[in-house]
Structure 1
């Protein structure tokens, strides 16, 4: 057997994304031809909205299919990631890797890149909490950039309205409240807010329908929906006070603009800029958040470890499926409007 190869098996090893959609594969994972590589056995993997965007062909850029994971290093060529290490994954660090929707995932690159991309998971914290590390790190980065764009040292007392009560919006709202902000979570439809209320997952400021958010009442409005749609951006601009900040967190595409607003939305978001704009005669700021940093992962892991109940993230889990069940589950999630977080246990 070649060094680095896996034993032959007919057991499904991974879920691949094909032009026809997700499918099971029995192909053995291969070690990347890179200076260093580690083999990770995922213990638990979360389904992310970007996975569903990839299935629908609506996500530009490199694939990050199957990136919300916690797992254990079982083979390693670098002392920075010894065998037995329990790790999460930062998909924004460039590596050659397979999908986390697998029994085994190779990741290869320079030793320093591997160490950045596979941050250690704190001991004593369960898998069902740690699997939220990557999406919570994205939420932490949004709040880091919010502070940066405001020129503020912290968020204590800052009035924030988060537009969109999907997973990203919930995590941003919960983490912002833990950081001292006064938070309202708003959504177009009431049923998603009711689901969160039943699971005690709303911030203490509660939840409201978008139409109920008062104009000019907030220092910051975060657009945390899958895409920054014009009507949501208008609502955000209306929600903030004079000179307030609108944060672009949801997806944008090249050329996205809002009529009447002199701002290149995609450039602002991807380059994490902040621009002074005028909207219907009132000055405002539009800022962007994109990706994560090592500090964001540290922030997220501290929140999962140290805050009461880990921000309540485990209450957001609605289903746990096996690897063979995953292709059908992904297709269903891409086609239907379902709430909460679905996890896959290889």
Structure 2
């Protein structure tokens, strides 16, 4: 079959590989749509920490597809059924797994798309325990964004969902920040303000539920002082030390800050007195818990989670390299880039297009 293979840093491209075969407890799936993100670019460039990857590897950790075949011990799934799957593969035996933190497994790190073959291929094999059937009347493209949204959802479930009427800020206008807005709008906040850095991305905010949008780099010292302690909950999704510092400053005394970004900073970037004197509750996020997956899938099934409007570009598998180039180019205007390994859902092969920039609906999105 065809797959996009990363042999090592800077060495990647489309290749012919052996067809995967499902074991007795595994499921063979044809990926319909695969989302790519900054973590994939790190994998391609060699910037991802060594303990979280294993070359050579097929990328693809945000995806949805259709069952092709099941191992003999798999029940509840039939060929043709739309599915999504967790990407982190926990051991199920360590103390963290026993506590329900399958995303923090203490065993050897294992994740589809980084240490195990991912979905950027014509077929992929996944352990059946990680696979979730999808409702047949929902768009499968949206399901490909369940994985990044589940990371935010896991953090929200841990800190407790904010009360209706809360003042909430989201710092970061990338896909993760906009997915956070999409989820937080369901809590009926009084204010849900998106702080971003790129006008074309922050413009997506109102379309997914933001009551206001601001560009962080345009905030004056007086603006920052006015925002100090203004929000009950601040969710940071910037991958930037400055973004984390801004999030801390905007939380009210005894407020909550959820840090979903990973900045890579090697020094102290947050004043600990901000936390102590503000009596803040600060919570980090890594991966998604199983409870978060179940919650997100229930929202998706009910039609309460549909971030399809965040998709700006679509490519077929033959042009996956172009997809990565668009994602990496700050001038390309990309937000969420999708690759369709089997071609666009519902289209025959001869009607598939190399890339179809998606029209932006509503007033905007991340």
TM above 0.5, yes or no, is yes
Give the superposition deviation at 1:169: 0.3
Distance 1:253 1:294 in 2: 26
Match of 1:251 in 2: 262
Matches within 5 A, 1:44-193: 44-60=33-49, 61-63=51-53, 65-77=59-71, 78-80=73-75, 82-84=77-79, 85-94=81-90, 97-108=116-127, 114-115=128-129, 117-147=130-160, 154-181=162-189, 182-193=191-202
Partners of 1:243 and 1:284 within 8 A in 2: yes
Corresponding position: 1:340 with 2:366: no
Give the superposition deviation at 1:163: 0.3
How has the CA–CA distance of structure 1 residues 254 and 92 changed in structure 2, closer, same or farther, with 3 Å as cutoff?
A: farther
1:216 aligns with one of 221, 226, 229: 229
Give the superposition deviation at 1:237: 1.5
How has the CA–CA distance of structure 1 residues 81 and 56 changed in structure 2, closer, same or farther, with 3 Å as cutoff?
A: farther
Residues 286-330 of structure 1: CA deviation (Å, up to 9, x unaligned) = 21122212221222122223245x44x111111111101002321
Matched positions, count: 301
Alpha-carbon RMSD across the aligned residues, in angstroms, is: 2.6
1:329 aligns with one of 323, 327, 333: 323
Distance 2:267 2:208 in 1: 31
Give the superposition deviation at 1:259: 5.4
1:43 aligns with one of 19, 22, 32: 32
Residue aligned with 1:247, SS = strand
Matches within 5 A, 1:22-37: 22-31=12-21, 36-37=25-26
How has the CA–CA distance of structure 1 residues 155 and 138 changed in structure 2, closer, same or farther, with 3 Å as cutoff?
A: farther
Residue aligned with 2:59, SS = coil
Match of 2:102 in 1: none
TM-score under structure 1 length normalisation: 0.78
TM-score under structure 2 length normalisation: 0.74
Distance 1:331 1:190 in 2: 21
1:319 aligns with one of 313, 316, 325: 313
How has the CA–CA distance of structure 1 residues 179 and 21 changed in structure 2, closer, same or farther, with 3 Å as cutoff?
A: farther
Report which stretch shifted further, 73-82 or 316-325: 73-82
Partners of 1:219 and 1:245 within 8 A in 2: yes
Partners of 1:155 and 1:176 within 8 A in 2: no
How has the CA–CA distance of structure 1 residues 79 and 30 changed in structure 2, closer, same or farther, with 3 Å as cutoff?
A: closer
Report which stretch shifted further, 215-224 or 57-66: 57-66
How has the CA–CA distance of structure 1 residues 21 and 183 changed in structure 2, closer, same or farther, with 3 Å as cutoff?
A: farther
Give the superposition deviation at 1:334: 2.5
Distance 1:134 1:118 in 2: 12
Uncovered stretches (5+) of structure 2, i.e. residues with no partner: 91-109, 342-366
2:212 aligns with one of 206, 209, 221: 206
Give the superposition deviation at 1:160: 1.5
